[in-house]
Amino acid sequence: MTIPRVRFAPSPTGQLHLGGARTALSNYLYAKNQGGKFLIRIEDTDLERSKKEYIDQICDSLKWLGLKWDDEIVYQSDNKSLYNHWIEKILETKKAYRCFASKDELDSYRNKKGSLHYPGIWRDRSTSDVNKQLEKGTPFTIRIKTPITGETKFTDLIYGEIIISNTEIDDFILVRSDGTPVYNFTNVIDDYNMKITNVIRGEDHISNTSKQILIYDILGFKKPEFAHLPMILGEDQKRLSKRHGATGVNEYRKMGYQSSALINYLAFLGWSPGSEEEIFDLNQLVDKFDLSKVQKKSAIFDSKKLNWISSRHLLISSNMSILKSLKRLDVSWGEKKKQDCYLKIIELLKPRSNTFIELIEKSDYFFNDPKQLDNSIKIKIWKSDTSKIINTLISALEKIENWESIELETNVKEFIKNNGLGFGSVLKPIRFAICGVLDGPSLFEIMEILNKDSVIRRLNKAILEFK
């Protein structure tokens, strides 16, 4: 059995987006499931757009996701001599040729014929014609001689047999007039040189695959197996892009998503383990992954599903690990109270939060008095006698010596019962006064964490504000 060698080959012209991360993940899961190797190749031949900051960001995002590569990173920019070697070899086969047609000449022909296909102007020109142009120093591209008849076909591990008529493939360029090789050529050379056994990438590359197979055949290289992943679409059924919100891995990291949650969600975009279970860590995904279970239908990015998966991962995370992550996101978080207090806050809020950032935002009232109480809520819950009731309650609270949630709950409920009041008429104003909101975890556990002085101060402040 051949040990799989797969690669993820991003272009460093921007940050790692979700589509690229899903491709990297699929390669990683496939390799690790079968004891193979996961490799990284940086396709940085576009010197104008490629930037080191993007290389660093892509690598950092992959590390954060837990997708560790096995060998040193390969950079296409280091492989110029390799490309030149194989270009000479392919010219020697006579199945590629130099084309001296100018842009104006090609545009004129295409305008007349109404076709973008290359018309084969230099396909069968004599050696003397070629030598004359070389002597003149005329710029040229190098094009492949695509077979005029027949078909190019391959078996895709997801889509099955794919057949392309050779009449649909023109004599495409291998090397531009400035001497730089094009993607389809460098891709084949690099995959051959890296001994790649399986190419797993997005379905938008299917048209490239047919061209690359022609190059494999001309050079006599053994072809890898191909698998093309379904596209990721937004909820509007259009290709996922920035208009759908954050699409970069680094952005989701800043938004407070856990890497385990994002990995879990990305794995389910177009794939299913074949069971109802949906929450997995990376190791479990490795064990479950099977390319045959990847769907052909485009995957729809659903932010609600991502948030649900994220909330489940947050719920099963230890409070201490969450605390460490929150401190990395917000250096001030963890400085105002003792560690035990922060762990209690996390325990209360993590069942109600989707992300680290959401948990931080929801925790604000544990550290700061509500800045300004919402008048629209006040109108609904703060009746004409509420201030009097709360003022009487404050007297009862001041007498409580053991300021713990169980004791607080017992005393407040006794106060409500003894005064013939409704629970909502008391508990809602208390929560509103000390938290500024009407929803949240156990009111009495919040009161315990806030301590007696803070609770009584906030209740008095609300009374004064709503006079």
CB 193 within 8 A of CB 82: yes
CB 262 within 8 A of CB 193: no
Residues contacting 236, CB < 8 A, separation 6+: 244
Residues contacting 288, CB < 8 A, separation 6+: 273, 280
The total number of residues written for the chain in this structure = 467
* CA atoms of 387 and 178, how far apart (whole Å): 81
Residues contacting 432, CB < 8 A, separation 6+: 373, 377, 378, 381, 382, 438, 462
CA 196 to chain centre: 24
CATH number among 3.20.20.80, 3.40.50.720, 3.90.1150.10, 3.40.50.620, domain 80-229: 3.40.50.620
What pLDDT was estimated at residue 251?
93
Alpha-carbon separation of residue 163 from 85, 168, 185, 200, 280 (angstroms): 31, 11, 21, 18, 37
CB 228 within 8 A of CB 205: yes
In 330-420, alpha helices (H): 339-349, 356-362, 375-381, 386-398, 405-418
Domain ranges for the chain, please list them.
80-229, 317-367, 369-465
* CA atoms of 467 and 463, how far apart (whole Å): 6
CATH architecture observed for domain 369-465: Orthogonal Bundle (1.10)
CB 263 within 8 A of CB 66: yes
Q: What count of other Cβ atoms lies within 10 Å of the Cβ of residue 301?
A: 20
CB 334 within 8 A of CB 326: yes
What pLDDT was estimated at residue 132?
96
CB 369 within 8 A of CB 432: no
Which tokens go with 286? 């490795």
What pLDDT was estimated at residue 359?
97
Q: What count of other Cβ atoms lies within 10 Å of the Cβ of residue 282?
A: 19
Q: Of 273, 303, 296, nearest to 202 (Cα)?
A: 296
CB 420 within 8 A of CB 381: no
What pLDDT was estimated at residue 275?
84
CA 66 to chain centre: 13
What pLDDT was estimated at residue 45?
84
CA neighbours closer than 13 Å in the CB half-sphere of residue 450: 28
CB 246 within 8 A of CB 255: yes
**Residues of the chain falling short of pLDDT 50:** none
Q: Of 212, 115, 216, nearest to 164 (Cα)?
A: 212
CB 37 within 8 A of CB 6: yes
Per the prediction, the chain carries an average pLDDT of 93
What pLDDT was estimated at residue 466?
85
What pLDDT was estimated at residue 362?
96
